[in-house]
Structure 1
Amino acid sequence: MKRIFLKQLAVLAATAIAGPGAFAQANYPDHPIKLVIPFPPGGSVDPIARVLMTKVGEILGQPIVIDNRAGGNTAIGAQLVAKAPPDGYTLMFTALTTHVIHTLQSSLPYDSIKDFAPVASASRSSYMLAVHNSVPAKTLPEFIAYAKANPGKLNYGSSGTGNSNHLAGELFNLRTGTKIVHVPYKGGAPALQDLVGGRVQMMITNVPLLQPQVDAGTLRALAYTSPQPGSAVQTFTQYGLPDFEGIESLNVLLAPAGTPAPIIAKVAAAVEKALASPEVKAGIENQKQSPYFLAPAVLGEKMKSDRAKFIEVIEKGHITLTQ
Structure 2
Amino acid sequence: MENPCSRGRRSFVLSTAAALASVLPHGLSFASEAAYPSRPVTIVVPFAPGGGTDIVARMLAVELSKRWGSPVVVENKAGAGGQIGNAFAARAAPDGHTLLLGITTLIQAPGLYKNLPYEPFRDFTPLAQLATSVSFLALPASSPINTVKDFVASVRARPGKVSYGSNGNAGTAHLHGALFNASQKLDMVHVPYSGSAPLLTALIGQQVECAFVDIASLRPHVLSGKLKVIAVTGPKRSPSFPQVPTLEELGVPGFEPVGWFSLFGPAHLPEAVFQKVSTTALQAMRTPEAEKRLEELGLTPSQLSTQAFADSMKTDFPKWQKMIREGNVNVE
TM over 0.5: yes
- The reply on whether 1:29 has 2:36 as its aligned counterpart is yes
Q: 1:236 to 1:27 in 2, by over 3 A?
A: same
**Residue 82 of structure 1 is aligned with which of 69, 81, 90?**
90
Deviations, residues 63-104 of structure 1 (Å, cap 9, x unaligned): 323222223322222111111121222211122x22222233
> In structure 1, what is the Cα distance between the partners aligned to 2:94 and 2:179?
36
Which residue of the other structure, out of 246, 251, 256, is the alignment partner of 1:245?
256
Aligned to 1:315: 325
- Show the counterpart of 1:235: 246
1:218 to 207, 213, 226: 226
Bigger shift: residues 114-123 or 292-301: 292-301
* SS of match in other structure, 1:113: helix
**2: CA distance, partners of 1:205 / 1:129:** 7
Cα drift, residue 31 of structure 1 = 0.9
Q: Provide the identity percentage.
A: 33
Q: CA separation in 2, counterparts of 1:262 and 1:108? A: 30
AA partner of residue 153 (structure 1): K
Counterpart-to-counterpart distance in 1, 2:125 and 2:287: 25
Query: Quick one: distance in 2 between partners of 1:109 and 1:282?
Result: 36
Q: Secondary structure at the match of 2:331?
A: coil
Picking from 288, 301, 316, the partner of 1:291 is 301
1:128 Cα deviation from its structure 2 partner = 0.4
Who is 2:4 aligned against? none
More displaced, 272-281 or 12-21?
A: 12-21
Which residue in 1 is equivalent to 2:136? Answer: 128
Greater Cα shift, 152-161 or 270-279: 270-279
**After TM superposition, what 4+ stretches of structure 1 lie above 4 angstroms from structure 2?**
5-10, 16-20
- Give yes or no for contact 1:28–1:263 (8 Å, CA) kept in 2: no
| Count of residues paired in the alignment | 317
Counterpart of 2:273 in structure 1 is 263
* 1:230-256 deviation line (CA, Å, top 9, x unaligned): 5312111211223112143x1110011
* Match of residue 264, structure 2, among 254, 258, 280: 254
Letter in 1 for 2:110: T
* Amino acid of the structure 2 residue aligned with 1:224: V
Query: Which one of the candidate residues 5, 12, 15 is aligned to 2:20?
Result: 15
212, 216, 219: which is aligned to 1:208? 216
Instruction: Find the partner of 2:56 among 16, 25, 48.
Output: 48
Over residues 129-186 of structure 1, what are the superposed CA-to-partner deviations in whole Å (9 max), with x where a residue is unaligned?
Answer: 0122454322112212222232222110111111110111001012222222111112
**Residue identity opposite 1:120 in structure 2:** A
Gap change, CA 1:272 and 1:257, over 3 Å in 2: same
Q: Deviations over 1:8-66 (max 9, x none)?
A: 75434422666852435632514132222222322111121111232123334433232
| Residue in structure 2 matched with residue 94 of structure 1 by the alignment | 102
Q: Which runs of 5+ in 2 are unaligned?
A: 1-8
Aligned CA distance change for structure 1 residues 318 and 47 (closer, same or farther; 3 Å)? closer
SS at match of 1:254: strand
1:282 alignment partner AA = K
Amino acid in the other structure paired with 2:262:
V
1:147 aligns with 2:155: yes
Distance 2:221 2:213 in 1: 13
CA apart distance, 1:198: 1.5
Tell me the TM-score normalised to structure 1 length.
0.88
Please give the alpha-carbon distance, in whole angstroms, between the structure 2 residues aligned to 1:117 and 1:28.
21
Cα distance 1:185–1:8, how it changes in 2: closer, same or farther (>3 A)? Answer: same
TM-score normalised by the chain length of structure 2: 0.86
Alpha-carbon distance change, 118 to 244 in structure 1, aligned in 2, over 3 angstroms: same
Rounded Cα–Cα distance in structure 1 between residues aligned with 2:226 and 2:18: 69
Give the 3 Å change call, closer, same or farther, for CA 321–307 of structure 1 in structure 2.
farther
Q: How far apart are the structure 2 equivalents of 1:286 and 1:315?
A: 34
The answer (yes or no) to whether the contact 1:156–1:201 under 8 Å persists in 2 is yes
